[in-house]
Structures are given as C-alpha cells and as structure tokens.
Structure 1
Amino acid sequence: MFVEVLVVGIGALTAGVLLFIALAGPTTTTKLAPAAASSPAAVVGLATAYALGILIDRAADAALSPHRRRLRTQFFPTNSTYAQARLRLNDFPALAARADYARSRMRICRGWLFNNLALTLAADLTMLRYSFEHRPLIISVVTLLGMLTALGFYRAWRTLTVTGYRKLAEQTSPATSSPVPSQAQP
C-alpha cells in the first residue's frame, strides 16, 4: 500500500507545484528553482507526496463510494454477504493475493482520476500565467487530453471494481465447495 499511496501522492504534489508556479509567476519561480533541485527539497517532496497520497486516496474513496456500493450490489445484495465473501477468500492465499493486487490497481486508478483533474486545471492555470506561442491551442489540447485521460482512469477504475466483485462472487459462491480459480486477464 505504501507504493500506491506514493504513486497517487506524486501526482497530487505535481499538481500542487504547478499551482504554486502559476501563482508565483515566472520571476519568483526562476529564483526558487535552484532550491527545488536540492536533496533536502527531494526528501521533503517525498514525504509530502506520501502524505498527499493518503489524503487523495481517502477523498477519492469517499467521492466514489456511492457508485462503488451500487456496483457491489450487482454481485452482493448486502454488506454482510460481501464481508462473508471477503473472509472466505482469505482462506485461499493465492486468490487473496490476486484480489489484493487488483484492489491496488483500482486504488491507483481511483486516485489518478482525481489527480488528473487537478493536474489538468493546474497546467491550464500555469500556461495562462506564461507567454508562449500557440497558447490557446496548447491549452485546449492539454485540457482535452486531461479530460480524456481522466475518463480513461474512471473507466479503468470501474472495470477493475466490477471485475473484482464478479470474481469474488464466483470464487466464494456458496454453491461451490472450493473457490473457482481466477482467470488471467489479458
């Protein structure tokens, strides 16, 4: 979980740095650039990225919880049936490890959905602050790519979530005496 929180936090930190650059402007940014390239700044950045990763993960989970619960009811009618399935899966370490890996990918997609929106906004604000050729075109392209990438992360999160619930339901169905092996995904 450390790595996935860090992966999400790096995106959040990058969005924050872009926002700072937009607010500070070119002159201040040029003066602060050497300090940002130092080892102490890297250590502080890593710690900050980890902390931001936790915040973004929790915020994304809270924002997507109603949708996740609706998806879960397709396979588990109650919270207790879901909890029982999760407990039963823990009896099979190989299947539990695969499910943990799938949940890790789902958390990264969930966090990067929100990171992508923040990065797109911060990049647009930063580009508005600086002068360069073809600025309207570049801002439009960045915004479009940012929205498409956010949509991609949402679809990946949704697909991973539905697949995880479907596999959990199949693998822990009371009708089967032993869990159904998970199929490898392409």
Structure 2
Amino acid sequence: MSSSPQPEPPALAAATAMFVEVLVVGIGAITASALLLIALIGPATTAKLAPVTGSSAAAGVGLAAAYALGILIDRAADTALTPHRRQLRTRFFPSNTAYAQARLRLADSPVLAARADYARSRMRICRGWTLNTLALTFTADLAMLRYSFEHRPLILGATSALGMATAFGFYRAWRALTVTGYRKLAEQTTLPAAGQPVPAQPQPGSVAS
C-alpha cells in the first residue's frame, strides 16, 4: 500500500525560514509605525486606544501587517543597498554571468546550498534591520517629543546615539556576511570537479623532466 506523498523537508524548512525572516523584519517596521502613530495622535488619544490593542482581532491584524511591512522593508533595504552589494560582488565575480554560473554549481551540493541559504537569511535580516533601526530611532524621538518627562533632552540624545550606533552595527554585519558569502561561493565553486585528479605536488629533491 503506497503512502501519500509528503512535502520535502528542505523545501518546507526553506518556506518556514522565509516566513520567519520576513516576520522578524516586519515586527520592527510595525513597531516604528506604531510609534509614528503615537507621535501623530498624542498622549490623550493613545490612552483611549490602548485597551483596543490588547484584543485578539488587533493581534491578528498586527501579525498580518507585520508580515506585509516586512516584505516592503526587505525590498526597500535591498534597493538601497544593491549598488554597494554589486560593488562587493565584483571582488570575487567579474560579471553577472560568472555569479549566476557559480550559483548553479553550488545548487549541485545540497549541504553547501543549505548553508548558503542560512547565511543569506541572516544577511537579509541584518539588511532589513538596518532600515528598521533608523526608522525606530526617528519615530521614537518623535513620540517622546509629545510627552513631558524629566531629562527629556538627555534621553532623546541617548536614544538617537544608540539608534544610530545600532543601525551602523547592522550595516557592518550585513556587509561582513555579504563579503563572506561571496568569498565562500567563489571558493566552493572553483574546486576541482568530482573525479578530476588533483595535480601532484613536486617532492623535495625531485628533478623536473
């Protein structure tokens, strides 16, 4: 009796990882959107709307909105960093054709391809959170300007400095992951093909013919 076909674990894992990746980026984006809304409507209206945010309906809408915003932020961050990414890629691949061929050769090794996908997932999260952190810093400052509390200038300055430093940290992490990914791809796809003999190394004292 034949069993019903089951989804391939690698494909299912990749789809799950992509969903989580977009959601992680989207959570930051929807938080920045909420801070912007607080800055626009002010403390009094925010206090009136606070009980509504705890409902199940609001949680469902928030989750869907976070996923949708995650897609937008990912595309926006990719567009902003594409020129720099292409510049980094030219260190290891002279043309788009060479890069595409290397990606095709890497696909022949499922283990290496899975590792590369994991590295690209981390890269995309860092890329999205570079933009997220800038948005969170800006909207947090705007929201705090609508409230009166002690040491507000000091807290605003500290928030801005911390936000800018964190955004730079995410950018540096994205850059390091991108360079490492290209370097490993170049190394892994230029190895001798399976079954091809490796040239013998000359032994000390031997005489070349």
- Give TM-score scaled by structure 1 length: 0.94
Tell me what 1:157 maps to: 174
Q: Aligned equivalents of 1:45 and 1:96: distance in 2?
A: 34
Instruction: Name 2:193's counterpart in structure 1.
Output: 177
Paired residue type of 1:27: A
1:74 counterpart SS class: coil
Partner of 1:182: none
Q: Deviations over 1:6-61 (max 9, x none)?
A: 00000000000000001110100000000011110000000000000000000100
Q: Given the two structures, how large is their TM-score scaled by the length of structure 2?
A: 0.84
The residue type equivalent to 1:131 in the other structure is S
Q: Displacement, 1:70?
A: 0.2
SS at 2:23 equivalent: helix
After TM superposition, the structure 1 = structure 2 runs for residues 2-21 of structure 1, keeping only pairs within 5 Å, are: 2-21=19-38
Structure showing the higher helix proportion among its residues: 1
SS at match of 1:76: coil
**How many percent of aligned residue pairs carry the same amino acid?**
76
Give CA-to-partner distance per residue, 1:114-149, whole Å, 9 cap, x none: 000000000000011100000000000000000000
Q: How far is 1:176 from its partner?
A: 2.3
Amino acid at match of 2:120: R
In 2: Cα distance, 1:81 partner to 1:171 partner? 14
Verify: 1:88 aligned to 2:105, yes or no: yes
Q: Over aligned residue pairs, what C-alpha RMSD do you find?
A: 0.7
Give the whole-Å Cα distance in 2 for the aligned partners of 1:129 and 1:27.
10
Q: 2:185 maps to what in 1?
A: 168
Structure 1 ranges of 4+ moved more than 4 A = none
Gaps of 5+ in 2: 1-17, 195-209
CA distance in 2, matches of 1:149, 1:91: 38
The residue type equivalent to 1:138 in the other structure is I
Unaligned 5+ residue runs, structure 1? 179-186
